[in-house]
Amino acid sequence: MTDLFFAFLALLVLTVALAALVIQSPARIAVKAGALVLAAGVLAAGYIAGTAILGRPKPARLEVLQRDTEEVSIVASMNVEGEAIHLWLLLPDETTPRAYTLPWSEQTAEALRKAQEEAEANGTRVRMRRPFRRSDDTSDQEFYAPPQPPMPEKS
């Protein structure tokens, strides 16, 4: 299940609880009906907002569920100078990459570029340590290219 499913499930439970409170209130029927329509509108707006952000990169500092991840593979990246560094990360135990955004930093962009060149020379994929940190300090992030795997032994 995706993170969006659980967020939408929480929104659904809260909306149903709100609707139940409205139904139990001693207000007039018109007020209850209006509140139920508003609750349905909140549910629809939450669903639309959630699906609208599916294809957009998420700021890495806002990641909550993957906070303890120590290392990820970088599938692709795109630098938008002066704005952001967009990364498509392959998280451990997952088969599809997720899009994240780092704040623009010339040092970070240069470190990523060097790691990409080294990974291409080694025939490996760029890795990143501590991708989801809480602070704006980028000194604890590290891009690197693992060494080329050893050749199989001859028989």
pLDDT category at 1 given cuts 50, 70, 90 is very low
SS3 for 29? helix
Indicate whether 43 and 98 sit together in one domain: no
Q: Are residues 111 and 83 in the same domain?
A: yes
Query: Any long-range contacts for 45-48 (C-beta under 8 Å, 24+ apart)?
Result: 46/8, 46/11, 46/15, 47/8, 47/11
Residue 36 structural domain = 3-52
Decide which of 138 and 10 is more confident.
10
Per-residue pLDDT, 85: 93
Is residue 72 domain-shared with residue 129, that is, in the same domain?
A: yes
Same domain? For 73 and 121 the reply is yes
Q: Do 36 and 20 fall within a single domain?
A: yes
Same domain membership, residue 38 and residue 62: no
Same domain, 62 and 100: yes
Q: From the CA atom positions of the chain, what is the Rg in Å?
A: 22
Task: Work out the mean pLDDT of the chain and round it to a whole number.
Answer: 82
Banded pLDDT at 2 (limits 50, 70, 90): low
What local confidence, expressed as pLDDT, does residue 136 receive? 56
- Same domain? For 99 and 62 the reply is yes
The percent of residues in the chain predicted with pLDDT above 70, rounded, is: 89
Tell me which of 14, 31, 52 is where a domain ends: 52
Rounded CA gap, 5 and 13, in Å? 12
The rounded distance, in Å, linking the Cα atoms of 5 and 50 is 9
CATH number for position 97: 2.40.50
| Assigned token pair, 131 | 């991708």
Asked if residue 80 and residue 122 are part of one domain, the reply reads yes
Span 58-97, pLDDT tens digits? 888 777 767 778 889 999 999 999 999 999 999 888 888 9
Number of domains in the chain: 2
Same structural domain, 96 and 22: no
Residue 26 covered by a domain: yes
Residue 152: pLDDT band (50, 70, 90) is: confident
